[in-house]
C-alpha cells in the first residue's frame, strides 16, 4: 500500500469511492492543462500540486497536527486567515468544486441547492476528501441561506464555528464584523491553546498580504497586450492559493511572475494576436471546477480576469499594516474584509463599479457572467450587472451552470457565437 493510501485509510476515508475520483483526475488535468501550448515553465510547481492534490498538502497538514498544531477548514473569502495563522494554526479552503461529491450532498440537501454547497457537504459526509477529514474545525459564515443551513448539518459530524457576516455595509455592520473577528480569535485561542498577540497577528497580516501582493502581480501580467499566461492556468493558481502554505505560495507565484514579466518584455503570448479578451464575473470556481475557462479558451477566447472569489475578490486591497494596537489590527482586518463585494450583501453596487473598472484595466472585449445554478444571490444580482454592462457598451453573456458536463456542448456553442459576434 503506498503512503497516500495508508494516510487516506488512517483518515477513515471511503477508499473505494475515493479511488474513482483518483482515476478521473489525471485525465482531467491532462485534458485541461497539459494540452495547452507554450505554458510558462514555472507552472510545473502548480501541476505537481494538482497532480498529487490529495497527497502532498494533506500529509503536511497531518505533520502539523502530529506536532500539536490545529487545522481550520474555511469556505469563504470573508474568513480572515490571519487570525488562524496568528494562533499557530493552518487555514485551508474546503469549498467543493467537483460533481463527484454532489450526489452525497444531495442525500441530505434539497436538489435545488447550489452545487458548491452540495459538493462541500458531500465531500465531508461521503468521506472522499482528505482535507475535509483532516480539519479539526470548520469555520462557516452567514453568507447565503444554503450555506447557513449546511453548517447545521455539518455540525452534526464535525465541530463548526459560524461567523455572523453582516448583510449590509454600514458603519455598525463593519464594527459587528470586527466583533466577529474578536470571537474568532477567542475560538482559535481555545482550540490551539496559543495566544493571538499583537506580534503574531502583525506577522500573519504580513504573510497574507504578501500572498495577495503575489496574486496582484500575477493578475497585472494579464493586463498586458501579449498575454503571458492562460486564464485556465491562472484559475488553478487562484484555487491553490486557498490551501497551499501561504509563504511558499507567494514565493512560487513571485517566481512565476518573474518569468511572465520576462515574457511580456519579449513579446511572448500564449494566445494568437487578436484573441478576444474576456472578463469572467460571478460565483467562485472551487477546485477542480475548470469547466468555463476550458470552454472559453478552446473556443477562441482568452480569460484575462475573474471578478470572483477565485479571482480579484480574494486578493484586491491589503490589510493596513501600520496599526500599533491589536484593536487597530482587528479593525483593519474588518475594514479590508468588508470591502469584498459578494452578492450576499444588499445593496452591492460596489461590485458593479468593480466589474466596470476591471473591464477597463484589463482592456476586455466582453464579459461573461457565470453563476452556479440555484445561487439566488448572484443570479438575482445578474439583473443589475447585465444592465450596467450593456449601458457601458460592453458585450455581455450570462450563463447559469453546474458541475456536470451535460451542458458543455451547448455552452461551447453559445460562447463561440458570443466570441464571433465580437468580430
Q: Cα(first)–Cα(last) distance of the chain, in Å?
A: 56
**Candidates 71-79, 189-197, 216-224, 319-327; binding stretch for ligand BJ8 (CB under 6 A):** 71-79
Q: What is the DSSP letter of 181?
A: H
DSSP state of 137: E
CB of 74 to ligand BJ8, least distance (A): 9
Single residue of 87, 284, 288, 311 touching ligand BJ8 by CB under 6 A:
284
Q: Which is nearer to ligand BJ8, 147 or 277 (CB)?
A: 147
Number of residues binding to ligand BJ8, judged by CB under 6 A: 20
**Quick one: CA dihedral 256, 262, 265, 267, positive or negative?**
negative
- Does 355 engage in binding with ligand BJ8 (CB under 6 A)? no
* Binding of residue 375 to ligand BJ8 (CB under 6 A): yes
Is 144 an interacting residue with respect to ligand BJ8 (CB under 6 A)?
Answer: yes
Contact status: 340 vs ligand BJ8 (CB under 6 A): yes
β-bridge mates for residue 282, sequence order: 370
Nearer to ligand BJ8, 147 or 276 (CB): 147
Q: Binder to ligand BJ8 among 116, 135, 256, 394 (CB under 6 A)? A: 116
Bridge partners of 75, per DSSP, are none
Is residue 143 involved in binding ligand BJ8 (CB under 6 A)?
A: yes
Cβ closest to ligand BJ8, residue 204 vs residue 312: 312
3-state per-residue secondary structure call for 348-376: CHHHHHHHHHHHHHCCCCEEEEEEECCCH
Binding mask 83-102 for ligand BJ8 (x = CB under 6 A): --------------------
- Residue 313 and residue 216 in contact, taking contact as beta carbons nearer than 8 Å: no
Question: Count of alpha carbons within 13 Å of 365, Cβ hemisphere only?
Answer: 16
Q: How far is 61 from 70, CA to CA, in rounded Å?
A: 8
DSSP letters spanning 6-46: HHHHHTT--HHHHHHHHHHHHHHHIIIIITSSS--TTHHHH
Residue 287 engages ligand BJ8 in binding (rule: CB under 6 A): no
Q: Does 289 bind ligand BJ8 (CB under 6 A)?
A: no
| Dihedral (CA of 391, 392, 396, 399) sign | negative
Is residue 309 a contact residue for ligand BJ8 (CB under 6 A)? Answer: yes
Per the CB < 8 A criterion, the answer to whether 399 and 368 are in contact is yes
Cβ-based nearer residue to ligand BJ8, 258 or 353: 353
Residue number, 47 or 106, with CB nearest to ligand BJ8: 106
Least Å distance, CB 176 to ligand BJ8, is: 17
Q: In what order do the strands lie in the sheet with 137-141?
A: 90-93, 71-74, 137-141, 160-163
Q: Is 218 in the site for ligand BJ8 (CB under 6 A)?
A: no
Answer for which of 61, 237, 372, 397 binds ligand BJ8 (CB under 6 A) is 372
Q: Are 311 and 231 in contact (CB under 8 A)?
A: no
Q: Is position 147 an interface residue for ligand BJ8 (rule: CB under 6 A)?
A: yes
Interacting residues with ligand BJ8 (CB under 6 A): 76-78, 114, 116-117, 143-144, 146-147, 283-284, 309, 340, 342, 344, 372, 375, 377-378
Amino acid at each position: 500500500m503506498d503512503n497516500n493510501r495508508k494516510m487516506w485509510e488512517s483518515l477513515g476515508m471511503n477508499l473505494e469511492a475515493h479511488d474513482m475520483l483518483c482515476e478521473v483526475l489525471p485525465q482531467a488535468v491532462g485534458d485541461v492543462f497539459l494540452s495547452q501550448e507554450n505554458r510558462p515553465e514555472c507552472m510545473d510547481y502548480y501541476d505537481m500540486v494538482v497532480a498529487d492534490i490529495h497527497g502532498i498538502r494533506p500529509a503536511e497538514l497531518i505533520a502539523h497536527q502530529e506536532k500539536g498544531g490545529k487545522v481550520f477548514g474555511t469556505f469563504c473569502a470573508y474568513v480572515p486567515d490571519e487570525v488562524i495563522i496568528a494562533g499557530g494554526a493552518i487555514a485551508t479552503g474546503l469549498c467543493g468544486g467537483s460533481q463527484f461529491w454532489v450526489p452525497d450532498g444531495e442525500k441530505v440537501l434539497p436538489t435545488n441547492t447550489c452545487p458548491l454547497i452540495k459538493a462541500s457537504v458531500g465531500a465531508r459526509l461521503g468521506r472522499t476528501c482528505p482535507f475535509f477529514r483532516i480539519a479539526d474545525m470548520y469555520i462557516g459564515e452567514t453568507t447565503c441561506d444554503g450555506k447557513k443551513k449546511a453548517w447545521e448539518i455539518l455540525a452534526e459530524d464535525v465541530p463548526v464555528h459560524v461567523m455572523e457576516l453582516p448583510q449590509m455595509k454600514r458603519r455598525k455592520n463593519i464594527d459587528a464584523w470586527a466583533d466577529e473577528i474578536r470571537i474568532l480569535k477567542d475560538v482559535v485561542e481555545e482550540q490551539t491553546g496559543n495566544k493571538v498577540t499583537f506580534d503574531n497577528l502583525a506577522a500573519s497580516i504580513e504573510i497574507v498580504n504578501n500572498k495577495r501582493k503575489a496574486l496582484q502581480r500575477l493578475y497585472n501580467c494579464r493586463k498586458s497586450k501579449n498575454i503571458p499566461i492562460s486564464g485556465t492556468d491562472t484559475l488553478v493558481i487562484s484555487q491553490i492559493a486557498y490551501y497551499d502554505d501561504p509563504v511558499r505560495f507567494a514565493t512560487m507565484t513571485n517566481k512565476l511572475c518573474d518569468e511572465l514579466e520576462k515574457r511580456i518584455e519579449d513579446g511572448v503570448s500564449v494566445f494568437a494576436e487578436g484573441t478576444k479578451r474576456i472578463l469572467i464575473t460571478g460565483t467562485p470556481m472551487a477546485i477542480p471546477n475548470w469547466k468555463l475557462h476550458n470552454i472559453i479558451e478552446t473556443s477562441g477566447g482568452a480569460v484575462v480576469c475573474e471578478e470572483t472569489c477565485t479571482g480579484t475578490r480574494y486578493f484586491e486591497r491589503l490589510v493596513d499594516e501600520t496599526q500599533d494596537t491589536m484593536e487597530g489590527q482587528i479593525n483593519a482586518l474588518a475594514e479590508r474584509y468588508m470591502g469584498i463585494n459578494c452578492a450576499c450583501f444588499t445593496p452591492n453596487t460596489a461590485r458593479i463599479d468593480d466589474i466596470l473598472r476591471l473591464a477597463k484595466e484589463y482592456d476586455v472585449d466582453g464579459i461573461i457572467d457565470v453563476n452556479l445554478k440555484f445561487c439566488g444571490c448572484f443570479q438575482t444580482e445578474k439583473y443589475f450587472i447585465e444592465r450596467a454592462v450593456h449601458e457601458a457598451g460592453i458585450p455581455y453573456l450570462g450563463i447559469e451552470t453546474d458541475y456536470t458536463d451535460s451542458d458543455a456542448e451547448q455552452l461551447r456553442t453559445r460562447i463561440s457565437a458570443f466570441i464571433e459576434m465580437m468580430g
